[in-house]
Amino acid sequence: MSGEQDTSTQLATFAGGCFWCMVKPFHQWPGVIRVTSGYTGGNTVNPTYEEVCTGTTGHVEAVEIEFQPSVISYDTILDVFWKQIDPTDDGGQFCDRGSSYRTAIFYHTEEQKQTAEASKSRLAASGIFTRPIVTPILPATAFYPAESYHQDFYQKNKAHYERYRNASGRDEFIRRHWSNP
């Protein structure tokens, strides 16, 4: 029917180190409905932030993005993701070290898996990074939203977020590697 808008949505889930820094880059795009900070990839049901930080739950800090593929493609969302992380670091991200700060792409469909693998291959072939791309592409598992104080942290605690982000080294890395972050 003409004139009707496609309102179907999909999920994309990414781990990119501190989830505070992974929300704002996606919020800015038309077609992104919501970005939720949380935990995934582990074996503890409904873990807390404190439990995840111990590194014993197997979870990583992640964001779950609900988006309209008729407005923004999964490939575009992947491009945004790659430009927020150091995909060559498997020990954490920037100032945050440890297993809960590793990077990962969690696919929800076979099509997402194939698109993510192609995106990773293009990045590896681009020559932007001299070290291997180590970000794994894994099947999505249960996603547990983080505590409410972590949600939209960049909006709720702007000064704290800006101080943390500036000191983390993330923005300097992005500037060095991407001419148009």
Please identify every residue annotated as catalytic. Answer: 18
- Give the angle 2-5-36 at the CA atoms, nearest 5°: 170
Q: Assess contact for 63 and 37: CB atoms under 8 A.
A: yes
How far apart CA 123 and CA 129 sit, in angstroms, is 8
**For 86, which DSSP code?**
-
Other beta carbons less than 10 A from residue 175's beta carbon: 10
